[in-house]
Chains A and B, each alone.
Chain A
Amino acid sequence: MVYMIEELYNHIGGDYAKAISRMQNDERIKKYLKFFLMDESYQQLAQAMEAHNCEEAFRGAHTLKGVSQNMAFAVLGNIVEQITEELRAKDFDKALETFPKVTESYQKVIEEIKRIME
């Protein structure tokens, strides 16, 4: 399992060393990966982007940023941070451009997690 978790972090551009220092062991990391699957902030963001609701989108992005960074998902965290700032500045057009990258990165993380959970 050690290898699996570390590999997952490598695949999705995460920082495994940080994750271990924060969550202490792979057992715990796995628990949080499950929580990450249950987290609904991406859905909140996606629905708000669809509905052009900038404020709601900001809240979703803000939460997703915190969660991603806590999990030490570096690549996802960075792109979500970018869209969070764009939404904070109420630059919705820019956020619309960024959003597909967020989705792509998020999907990749979710797929990888699901793969090792099976």
Chain B
Amino acid sequence: MEEKNTLLIADDVMINRELLKDIFEENYEILEASNGEEAIELLDKHQDEIALLFLDLVMPKKDGLEVMHHMSLNGMISTIPVIMITGEATVESDVRAYELGAADIIYKPFEPAVVIRRAQNIIELFRHRISIEKELELRTQELIESKRKIEQSNIFLTNALSAVVEFRSLESGEHIQRVKKFTRIMLWHWRALFGENQFTNEQIELMVNASALHDVGKIAIPDNILLKPGRLTDEEYAEMKKHTIYGCQMLEHFKQEENEFYQYCYDICRYHHERYNGKGYPDGLQGDEIPVWAQVVSIVDVYDALVNKRVYKDSFTIDQAFRMIHDGECGIFSPKLLECFDDAREELTIETQKEQQKVENGKGG
């Protein structure tokens, strides 16, 4: 950092300025102001060079108080130390000077040796503090940047892993992306509706990313079942259901204790086919035993399957899908989840139509 090498002396009495000038002119450039207005002008013009301001409180035009006020408004009070010069040592005037942001107070008449030492100390202190603050700012920037990179590689990895599933299961390539979008919409509405479950923005994004992995266990399902165009036999269906378990087994290889993201991934893989009435699989959990994030993914997974064409079925309209979900045709969801689903209906509809438009355009081109 470049060293600031200028002192500003603001005092209306020339003798006082001269005394300070004599003390410091050997080592510093000196600027002088004989009133508050001049001081403010010089501060504005030279704020990057001024290492210290000696400020008299009682001055014509604008007084020291107004000079400090100006410095506060312009952020200079934290970068330029002010040593207040005062004629009398009363507790009130001292307290007032410090309240205004003075770094130190010097009483007239000055003792040069003391003034020099104090000025040096304060200049050093500010220099040190400013460099620490800059260092801290730099470190914070680096931290934010590396956190962003980690988040990006998380997204990349979850997308890559889920793409493997899509590739094998011949499902529409956009299913995962839509589930993520719908999950995000639902979680925001959930948070707005039910204050008791205040997820942070960060947590919501972790859940959204985890939702991409909901079907990752399908990798372990044999082709003759996964890709079967017709109806599955009971036996085949039983195997298909195990994708929830297989997904968790895979994740367990990468288990990270106390890791929130891992927990969301695990819960979503395992419980996204559980139902409120305990009739889901694989564990038959009931009611609130099913984590909210898994509940949310379960409803948007069903919704997306309904409004899109699959090898085994045609697509339903958005209205039909909402009605079928409410009627329990795809399993029973919690009343709160359904309330949230209705609350999010407008946004889900807009997003669904946007996605369908994309598919249409894809066909045309």
Contacts and interface: CB of A to CB of B under 8 A. Distances in A.
Most chain-B Cβ atoms within 10 A of its Cβ — which of A18, A32, A41, A67? A67
Interface stretch (A5-13, A21-29, A95-103, A110-118): A21-29
B109 A69 contact: yes
B274 interface: no
Given A22-B19, A32-B18, A32-B19, A63 B13 contact: yes
Interface in B14-52: 14-16, 18-19, 22
Contacts of B58: 59, 62-63
B13 A41 contact: yes
B96 interface: no
Interface residues of B, number: 15
A38 interface: yes
Contacts of A23: 19, 22
Nearest to A33: B15
B22 A67 contact: no
Contacts, number: 53
Interface in A38-77: 38-39, 41, 59, 62-63, 65-67, 69-72
B260 interface: no
Contacts of A62: 58, 87
B111 A67 contact: no
Interface string B291-309: 0000000000000000000
A21 B111 contact: yes
A70 B14 contact: no
B147 interface: no
A30 B104 CA distance: 30
B110 A35 contact: no
Contact of A28 (B14, B22, B87, B111): B22
A59 B87 CA distance: 12
Contacts of B22: 23-24, 28
Given A23-B22, A66-B87, A32 B15 contact: yes
A20 to B, nearest CB: 11
Nearest to B115: A22
B109 A70 contact: yes
A71 B111 contact: no
Contact of B14 (A18, A22, A38): A38
A17 B158 CA distance: 82
Nearest to A38: B14
Given A22-B19, A32-B19, A66 B112 contact: no
Interface string B142-185: 00000000000000000000000000000000000000000000
A40 to B, nearest CB: 10
A66 B12 CA distance: 11
Contacts of B112: 21-22, 24
Given A24-B112, A70-B109, A71-B109, 13 more contacts: A18-B109, A22-B111, A23-B19, A38-B14, A63-B13, A65-B87, A66-B16, A69-B87, A69-B108, A70-B16, A70-B108, A70-B110, A72-B109
Q: What 10 A-B pairs are tightest by C-beta distance, nearest first?
A: A70-B109, A69-B109, A66-B108, A66-B87, A35-B15, A67-B15, A63-B13, A67-B13, A70-B108, A35-B14
12 contacts: A21-B112, A22-B19, A23-B19, A24-B112, A32-B19, A35-B18, A66-B13, A66-B16, A66-B87, A66-B108, A66-B109, A69-B109
Interface of A: 18, 21-24, 28, 31-32, 35-36, 38-39, 41, 59, 62-63, 65-67, 69-72
